[in-house]
Amino acid sequence: MLPKAILLDLDDTIVSFSAGADPCWQSVCQTFDGRLLDVTAADLFAAIKECRGWYWRDVVRNERGRSELKMARRKIVLEAFSRLGIEDAILARELADAYSQEREHESTVWLLPGAVETLRRFRSQGILMALITNGAAESQWRKIRRFALEAYFDCIVVEGDFGTGKPDWRVFGYVLEQLGVDAAEAWMVGDSLEWDVRGAQGVGIFAVWIDASGKGVPAASGVKPDLVVQSLAELGERLATG
């Protein structure tokens, strides 16, 4: 049976966001090559990638950083410089800000294949829809408006506006109230096991995990999605065929 309501994540569920990160970092590191003495662009990128993981794995840093991305990127680069033995806070800030500017280019974020078509299909099936996205209001609304996504949703909640984000139960509770549905009548769809799946299941919502890589749930995760698909388009097809 179709759910009465579907709650959807934005980044890496409807739009591709993470895939643009590495190419941007590599491009910026290449631009700064030669300004870091014996450190190559490849070494710098490797250090930034390692520090990026270190930064975002921490719950407290993650919560603050996703609403202040420019600041977070500066901290990541500064940590990378430290691990490489580079003492130049000014250059670290310049490099991080160059990356932030690159990420504003439209080419670094794009609609995932079949995403909009799936939203249209859900709409035609009479399913209520809400968009729940973590992150700063300005950056998230820029994506929403660029791809004209507002028309598909009955409710949109952005962390920067609401004051807290997934997996906080208050976010899910607010959306359910706005849609006028019970938790048992709703599905949550997203790519994050922690924010989307665990958060939704915590309030009794059926949780669909988008496993784009197809590698499955990591053994150490402890999270068990109710349904696993590789894309939003695949979920649309499943609901269309029963």
Q: Letter for the amino acid at 197?
A: V
CATH topology of domain 5-16+109-241: Rossmann fold (3.40.50)
Q: What is the mean pLDDT of residues 15-25?
A: 95
What b/e readout covers 217-239, taking b as 16+ CB neighbours within 10 angstroms? eeeeeeeebeebbebbbebbeeb
CA distances from 224 to 104, 192, 218 (A): 35, 12, 10
What confidence score (pLDDT) does residue 52 get? Answer: 96
* pLDDT tens-digit map of 120-171: 999 999 999 999 999 999 999 999 999 999 999 999 999 999 999 999 999 9
- How many residues can be counted in the chain? 242
CA distances from 180 to 129, 155, 158, 184, 235 (A): 11, 11, 19, 12, 23
What confidence score (pLDDT) does residue 149 get? Answer: 98
What confidence score (pLDDT) does residue 105 get? Answer: 87
Q: How many CB atoms lie within 10 A of CB 190?
A: 28
Average pLDDT, the chain: 95
Query: Which token pair is 110?
Result: 């794009």
* pLDDT tens-digit map of 41-79: 999 999 999 999 999 999 899 989 998 999 999 999 999
Give 242's pLDDT tier (boundaries 50, 70, 90): low
pTM over 0.85: yes
Measure the CA–CA gap between 154 and 68, rounded to whole angstroms.
27
* pLDDT tens-digit map of 211-229: 999 999 998 888 999 999 9
What percent of the chain stands above pLDDT 90? Answer: 90
Give the start-to-end residue ranges of the domains of the chain. 5-16+109-241, 18-107
> Quick check: 31 pLDDT over 80?
yes
Measure the CA–CA gap between 8 and 1, rounded to whole angstroms.
18
What percent of the chain stands above pLDDT 70? Answer: 100
What confidence score (pLDDT) does residue 1 get? Answer: 78
